[in-house]
Each structure stands twice: as structure tokens, then as C-alpha cells.
Structure 1
Amino acid sequence: MSKQTKKGKLSFLFLDSKCDKYINWAVAILLLIGTFTIVSTNVGKTTYAPNIVSKVLFKQCVFVVCGYIAMLFMNKLFRFRWFAFFELLILPICLLILVLPFAFPEIGGSHAWIQFAGMSLQPSEFAKPLILIVCATCLYRSKKKTAMLKEKGKLFKKAWIVYVCISVIIVGQKDYGTLAIISFIFLSCIMIPKYPVLQRSQRVLKLCLYSGIVAAVVLFGITNIGTDILKNTPLAHVAVRIENFKDPYADVYGDGYQPANSLYGIASSNIIGKGIGNSTRKYGYLTQADNDYILAVLIEETGVFGLFGLVILYGIIEYRLFYYAFKTSEDMYKIILGGTGVYLFMHFFLNAGGVACLIPLTGVPLLFISSGGTSLISIMMTMGLAQNCICAIRRKEMDRYL
């Protein structure tokens, strides 16, 4: 699985030898856990689909291979100068692909998927690494065009345009969980650079963020004002999810069926879990057992120890990403590494919080664990991009001491 590089050092799965090995191993273990759990959750469907396990395993292996190829490409071949050169061609194509799901029927009340050959792809997942690359490319371009660092509104002008276009498309698709993650990724990219020209906009964005959080807590948490308003709008389904998070047992046999059974599964784990493969909630109680609620099944089978292990693996990746982000003086790399950390954290926060009914369920997958080929390929691509930056940082550090 490894090969000998020219310098005599072993590379992990043919990736660049300067990649961070802790991130590589954490990702590999998470993929193994995710693949096993996805197969396990589909055992409950064998009563009416005897070949479901082999089909799911094959599909997951295909997605893992595709994700690895995307990771390898971003790690070894991606260059910001190429993206900057072809940007005017790449961006319209990407936006056009994001619009394609409108030509297909809704799935779960959202126009976010392209369906073909019995499979579904969610193009909006690729908007997450795209917004990271666009923001980093703005800083790459500013190295040659120093006027971008002096004139207000110039540095991230193109990134703002892309973000607004993506947001409009995703709002039309009614995929608000994805929009929230993309918004936080974009916000982190804007907040990371410390240029005087950005200080005013950064203060405004901080104020808007804090005000939005306070307003959300007051309108939807402390009171029901926001929920009552949403019920009379096209966002009535969001109001239902908010009510379920506040009291998942109010309608156990209706809209609260899934969140209630998620909590039943977690509570029945008895700290140590029922044992790998012994979940009962995957047998029809959780219809999204391999996706939105896969964490509930994982906790039911492995208990708190399984959750703790998962947190450690995510924590290793987060720590190493921010370790290099703080180590480098290159803002372009800081944006990629910091944004990737936010990307990973937001998925975990929204999925785990929704499964535990601590926040409304958003339908956001648990990265590396939940089924879903598009989300897996997207995060693998992003990890390859992050490793690309880490390799550049480590080479620069070596050159400094040679």
C-alpha cells in the first residue's frame, strides 16, 4: 500500500511523502469505521432486499476509491496558479452544475440531487471546497496585484460574488444545512487574514454573526415566536424540525418518530453499547440509519467509548490542521487549513447535535461515516487540498534550515 519515494522515505498510499501522517491515518480509520457501520445499518433491510449488503458494500468501495483519487489529485497535482488562470472558465461551469438538480424531482423536499442509473449525486457538496479555493486564489492573485490589499472591497470581491451565487442556488434548492456550512466556511476565510483593508468588514461580520446567534436563541429557543412565523411560510418543515428538537416525544408516531427513536437508541446503549452489529434501531425504526442517524446506531452499538473514539479521530485531524495553520505565515494556506477545519467541525456539530436533539436536525451527513458518495468525495478532495498546503509548508520549513 506504500511505495518507496526517490528520497528513500515511505509515502502513505502514494500520497506526497511530506503529507501529515496523523491526518492520513485518522482519515483511513474513519473510512474503515464508516464503511463497516454503513454495511451494518443495512443489515436491517435484508428482509425485503436480500442482496442489499453486497450492493451497499460495493457502492461504498466505489465511492472510497473515487474519493481517494480526488484526494490524490488535489494533493499532488492541484496548483493555485492553474486555477487562477482558468478561473473564468471553471467558475461558470461549476455554477451550471449546481443548477442541474432543478431538472430532477425533489428528494426529501429538496431539489439538491442529480439522479441517474439508480444513484443520486449532490453537487452542492462540491461548493464547500470550491469556496475555499476561490478565497485562497484571491490571496494568491493579491501577491501580484498589490492594489487588492489597499482598496476596500477589492480583495475578496470575486469570492463574495461566487458565495452569493452559490447561496441563491442553494436557497432555491431548500438545502439550508449545506448553506449554513458553506456560510461558516466562507466566514472563516474572510476572518482569517489580518489585513487593515479587511478590518472594518470583519467587525461587521462578527457583529452580524453574534446578533444572528442571539436572535436565533431568543426567537427559536427561549420563545416560539420564530417557529410560529415559519409555520406560515414555505419553511414550515423547518418549524417542525425545531419543534422536534425542543420536544422530540411530543409526536412520537408522527414527525417526532425519527428523533425519538434516535434518543431511544442512544439511551439503550448503556454506556458500553450493545456490541458491534447488535443495534435494534436499524431494523426499520430509523429510516435514515445509514445517513442522518448513523451516529445513533454507532453509539447504540459501541456506547460512549465509540463516540469518544470518534471524537479523538476528528480531534487529531482538527489539531493537525490548525497546528499547520498557525505555523505558516502564508495566509493562502491558513485559509485552506482553517476553512477545512471549520468544514469538518460544522458537519460533526450539526449532525451530532441533530441526532442528540440538542439542535434542529439539518440533514447534514457525518463526514467519513455516513453514506453518501458526493459528501465523501468532497471531503476527501478537501483533505487532499489541505495536505497539498501542508506539504508546501513543510518543504518551505526544510528549505529554511538547509
Structure 2
Amino acid sequence: MSKQKRQSKLSFFALDPNCDKYINWAVALLLLVGTFTIISTNVGKTTSAPNIVPKVLIKQCMFAVCGYIAMWFMNRWFRFKWYARIEKVIIPICLVIMGTTFAFPEIGGSRAWILIGGISLQPSEFAKPLIMIICATCLYRAKKETDMLKVRGQLFMRAWISFALMFGIVFAQKDMGTLVIICFIFLSCIMIPKYVVLQRMQKVLKVLVYGAIAVAIVLFGITNIGTEIIKHTPLAHIAVRVENFKDPYTDVYGDGYQPANSLYGIASSDIHGKGIGNSTRKYGYLTQADNDYILAVLLEETGIFGLFGLVILYGMIEIRLFYYAFKTSEDMYKVILGGTGVYLFMHFFLNAGGVACLIPFTGVPLLFISSGGTSLMSIMLTMGLAQNCICAIRRREMDRLS
């Protein structure tokens, strides 16, 4: 086989050359950090499962490969043109798959997982990139059907209907962390376009969002009114998490066991940490050390330097996403890039805040770091979509300059 043919085959499986290299490097480094941390956390299980480390390594590598394929596909092949044609089929299929979780047992207070042969899938994770694509596709259609920009409520009608159905399913699943993230992604997507027909709705939404945040702070933060109310509802597990956020040490050997040990691990890390692989909390103290509480183990081993490194890598991705979002005049690209930025930020905010007991714990994974194939597939797919938009923006810029 000639060198030219080999290079063409390799380039076929590579991301588009116009991708933002800073984002690619940040994603690769985060995946590397996540893989090492997951292996480190599972060392604590070797006493009961001697072969756990190689199994976890193989599993994580498979997730990474599948994630890369999802990212590559969205970067190389996704087009709003063909998606718009099949959207009426895609949305119902996704909603039905999300609804099938009710046929499976509850995990951690939520019915958000599909369990098949020891493998768990969380379909609602894919609702996050899907709602972005739906909103962007509404703007894509509006370029051809200009009447959508003249009638109030017409532009994002399909997006609102899809969001309402997703909201209902995820709320019924009692997965409040995922619900909050989907809400913020959707709100950011419909707040970005600056059309006259949207201005009234956007003003009303701003008031509602700020009002809801203020009421939540009063009911759950300043007072215990909200906590006492939901104790007597099917969402009683949320009341427990709110109480643990306020004082995780009231029930250290009960419901406060995980958050208390998370704080013990972080507090014992010092500035430089205990060293990679030297966490003590992963030895049975944190039962979800490789998933929801993986940040506590990472900080215990690497200290403030590990947190600083994570912030730099996440910050690099955020800066580059919003750089291109402000640079382009194409609203559908702005929606995808801005929505991706909110998606990434909300996961970090909810996970880090919950692990440090600064906010109630939601069970949201730390993207690229926590174990879990569904969340990794979803964010990699989203990053591929964002890179797809970045490539289109850079090509247009090169065409304009040529």
C-alpha cells in the first residue's frame, strides 16, 4: 500500500483539520486524567476483586474509543440539512427510549437507568445534546421559512414541545440533577438568538428563572420550609441531600456518610495532596469513589494543584467555545457552542459543589473524569458537534479572506 493511500485512510478516521486544537488537547488530557483516577479509585476494591483494575482499564478504554467514534461522527458527518429531514423520527424514538427506564428498578432514588446484562445505560444523558440540536434546527429552518420569525411562539415551538416532554419524563424519573442541567441548556439556547419576536418571552423567562432561584434559596437554604414539605412527597431523598449539604456530620454513619467522608478526604489533602494512588478514602469509605465522588479522591491525591489543573483544562474548553460563539454571526452555531459551554459548566458546578457540600448533592458525574459510558458518550458527541460548528465558522472565515 502506498504512503499516500495510508495517509488518506488515517485522515478518514481523524477529526476535521479545521477543528480547534486547544479543545482537542484539553479533552484528551481530561480523559487521560480521568482514566488514571478511575484506575486509582478501583485499587481500593482489589481486596475483594483482585482482577478489578485490568477489567476497569479495558472497560474505560472501550468507553473512550466509543466516545471518540461519536465525536468523530458528529464532527465529520453531522449536517443540519439531513437531521432536519429525520427529526420527526429521532425525537419520538429518543423519548420512548427515555421512558423505558420505568421498567427497571430504582437506583439511588431515581429510575433513570436501563439495566441489561450487568451494563447500565442512562438515556436521559443524550437529551442534553439533543435539546441543543433541536433548538439549532429551529433556527436552521427559520432561514428558509421566514414566517417563523414573524409569529410569536412559532420559532421554537417544536423545541418547547420536546423540552416539555423531556422535562416530564426526567422529573418522573426523579433525576433532579439531569433535570436542572437540561433546563439550563434549553434556557441558554433560546436566550441566545436576538430576534424581536423572542424578546418578550426572553424577558419573562429571565424574571421566572431569577425568581425561582431566589425562592429555592429561601425555602431550602435560609429556611427549612422546602425541606419539610418534600419530606412527605416521592422526592424525600432530595430532602435528605439538602440536610446533608447543610450539615453532613449530623448523621455520619447514615445518610451523611458519603458527604462527610468526601470532606474528610479533601481536608486531608493539604496543598500538594497525598500523592497519586495514595488516597485512603477510596478504601471503602466512598462507595462511589470512581463516579459521583471521584473529585474527592482526585483532590485527596493531588491537592490544590489537581483542582487548579482541572479548572485550567475545563476553562480552556469554555474560553474557546465562547470565543467562536461570539465570533460567528450564525445563530444556530451560537446556540450549539453556548449550549455546550453551559452543559460543561453545569456538570462541573453541580459535581464540585456537591462533593464539597457547597450545594445539595445531585449525583451528576464529573465529565471526562467520572466512570460511566453514557455520560462520556454524550459529552464526546456534544464536543464533536461543537467542533463541527467551529470547522464551519473557520471555513467561512477562510473563504472570506481568500
TM-score, normalised to structure 2, is 0.97
Shift of 1:4: 8.6
Q: Secondary structure at the match of 1:160?
A: helix
1:78-227 to structure 2, matched below 5 A, reads 78-227=78-227
Name whichever of 270-279 and 103-112 sits farther off.
103-112
Alignment partners' CA distance in 2, 1:86 and 1:12: 25
Shift of 1:375: 0.1
Q: CA RMSD in A?
A: 1.7
Structure 1 unaligned blocks of 5 or more: none
Contact 1:4/1:11 (<8 A) preserved = no
Contact 1:5/1:11 (<8 A) preserved = no
Query: What does residue 352 of structure 1 align with?
Result: 352
Q: Which amino acid aligns with 1:374?
A: T
Shift of 1:117: 2.0
Alignment partners' CA distance in 2, 1:365 and 1:12: 32
Q: Secondary structure at the match of 2:59?
A: helix
Query: What does residue 256 of structure 2 align with?
Result: 256
Alignment partners' CA distance in 1, 2:89 and 2:367: 30
Alignment partners' CA distance in 1, 2:5 and 2:82: 26
Contact 2:13/2:72 (<8 A) preserved = no
1:311 matched to 2:311? The reply is yes
Name whichever of 230-239 and 323-332 sits farther off.
230-239
Q: Secondary structure at the match of 1:115?
A: strand
Contact 1:5/1:17 (<8 A) preserved = no
Cα 1:6–1:143 change in 2 (3 A) is farther
Alignment partners' CA distance in 2, 1:89 and 1:213: 35
Q: Which amino acid aligns with 1:147?
A: D
Name whichever of 85-94 and 268-277 sits farther off.
85-94
Query: What does residue 383 of structure 2 align with?
Result: 383
Shift of 1:5: 11
Structure 2 unaligned blocks of 5 or more: none
Contact 1:322/1:338 (<8 A) preserved = yes
Q: Secondary structure at the match of 2:238?
A: helix
Alignment partners' CA distance in 1, 2:392 and 2:201: 30
Q: Which amino acid aligns with 1:278?
A: N
Name whichever of 336-345 and 214-223 sits farther off.
214-223
Contact 2:142/2:148 (<8 A) preserved = yes
Alignment partners' CA distance in 2, 1:107 and 1:46: 24
Aligned residues: 399
Identity among equivalent pairs (%): 78
Contact 1:170/1:179 (<8 A) preserved = yes
Q: Which amino acid aligns with 1:239?
A: A
1:69 matched to 2:69? The reply is yes
Shift of 1:57: 0.8
Alignment partners' CA distance in 1, 2:5 and 2:341: 29
Query: What does residue 237 of structure 2 align with?
Result: 237
Name whichever of 103-112 and 301-310 sits farther off.
103-112
Alignment partners' CA distance in 1, 2:241 and 2:165: 27
Alignment partners' CA distance in 1, 2:13 and 2:262: 37
Alignment partners' CA distance in 2, 1:6 and 1:82: 30
Alignment partners' CA distance in 1, 2:378 and 2:295: 20
Contact 2:134/2:159 (<8 A) preserved = yes
